Amino acid sequence: QVQLVESGGGLVQPGGSLRLSCAASGSIFTMGAMGWYRQAPGKQRGLVAAIGSGGTHYADSVKGRFTISRDNAKNTVYLQMNNLQPEDTAVYYCNVQARPDASTSINNYWGQGTQVTVSS
Q: How does pLDDT run across 101-119, given as a tens digit for each residue?
A: 889 899 999 999 999 999 9
Q: How does pLDDT run across 3-56, given as a tens digit for each residue?
A: 999 999 999 999 999 999 999 999 899 999 999 999 999 999 999 999 999 999
H-type helices in the chain, by residue range? none
Separation of alpha carbons 4 and 88, rounded Å: 22
Mean pLDDT score of the chain: 96
> Between 102 and 78, where is the model more confident?
78
Closest alpha carbon to 81 in 96, 69, 99 = 69
